Chain A
Amino acid sequence: MIELRFASELYPPAAVRDAAVAYADFAQCEIEERDGATWVRVSASGDADESMLAAELANYALGLSIDRRRAHD
């Protein structure tokens, strides 16, 4: 299992949740919000590279965060 920390001011929690939902077919994600951040514990389903999966999820969350910010501008 890999734990990722997403600072809420950089990654809106909603964006992180959406990313976790998008990767639901590939990984199990436990989400917790605390200490000004969203923590995501990623466990790969099947034989997927867990480290790569976590990194891809983080990238996806970043993309969603940027899209949200642009939409609000």
Chain B
Amino acid sequence: MKQAANPSDVVLELEEGLYSLDAIYGTAYVFIDRCYVLLDRSGPGRISVRLRPKAETSATAEDLMGEFENELLGQAWRRLLVEENRKLVETVTTHALAGAAGPPGLDDLLDMDIDDQAAFDDPLGIAVSWEDKYKKRDKASVDAGDDPSQATPPKSGGGEGSSE
């Protein structure tokens, strides 16, 4: 005797193109405490979900079906967000874990290959003074179309506006 369809069962037909298997699994997992959930392949790209309320739940099969559909949307949306932000999350997590490891110890420093040339590299520009970093260029250089952030300050002691 096969598992007969119960009159209280409801069946949803889901398109895999709209709801990934992970979303369907995630949704089913949420509902297995309140109803019996049976998944099956109903055709190419289609998955059927049979829901049967448990005896102890007060919700009807139709209620559960509606809740299932809503939860399925939420699961699908969350998974889409995870996929879109996966790289960012991995990067942030990697940096956080690397930071939590603390500064390099003596053994780590001794293992580093630092020669005379590399010892004075300054890739972050830390050794550059603020004035040199943000010096302004004079107006002539700006009009010529050069990078304005590189303008040099005007010389004092002469020209218009001088108090002397």
Q: At the interface, yes or no: B88 with Cβ under 8 Å from chain A? A: no
The contact of A66 among B3, B29, B38, B40, by CB within 8 Å, is: B29
Interface residues of B in 24-69 (CB under 8 A from A): 25-26, 28-29, 32, 36-41, 47, 52, 55
Interface residues of B, count at CB 8 A: 20
Q: At the interface, yes or no: B118 with Cβ under 8 Å from chain A? A: no
Q: For the complex, what is the distance from the CA of A35 to the CA of B37, rounded to whole Å?
A: 22
Residues in chain B near residue A69, CB distance under 8 A = 22, 25
Contact yes or no, A1 B1, CB < 8 A: yes
Majority secondary structure, A binding face: helix
Contact yes or no, B41 A54, CB < 8 A: no
Q: For the complex, what is the distance from the CA of A2 to the CA of B36, rounded to whole Å?
A: 15
Q: For the complex, what is the distance from the CA of A63 to the CA of B39, rounded to whole Å?
A: 12
Chain A proximity of B50: nearest CB distance (Å)? 9
Chain B proximity of A47: nearest CB distance (Å)? 16
Contact yes or no, B3 A4, CB < 8 A: yes
Contacts A54-B3, A66-B25 given; does A5 touch B32 at CB 8 Å: no
Contact yes or no, A58 B38, CB < 8 A: yes
Contact yes or no, A62 B3, CB < 8 A: no
Contact yes or no, B39 A59, CB < 8 A: no
Q: Name the residue in B21, B36, B52, B55 with the highest tally of chain A Cβ atoms < 10 Å from its Cβ.
A: B36
Residues of chain A at the chain B interface (Cβ within 8 Å): 1-5, 7, 9-11, 51-52, 54-56, 58-59, 62-63, 65-66, 69
14 contacts between A and B (CB under 8 A): A5-B3, A5-B40, A10-B40, A55-B52, A56-B36, A58-B36, A58-B38, A59-B32, A59-B36, A62-B28, A62-B38, A63-B29, A65-B25, A66-B26
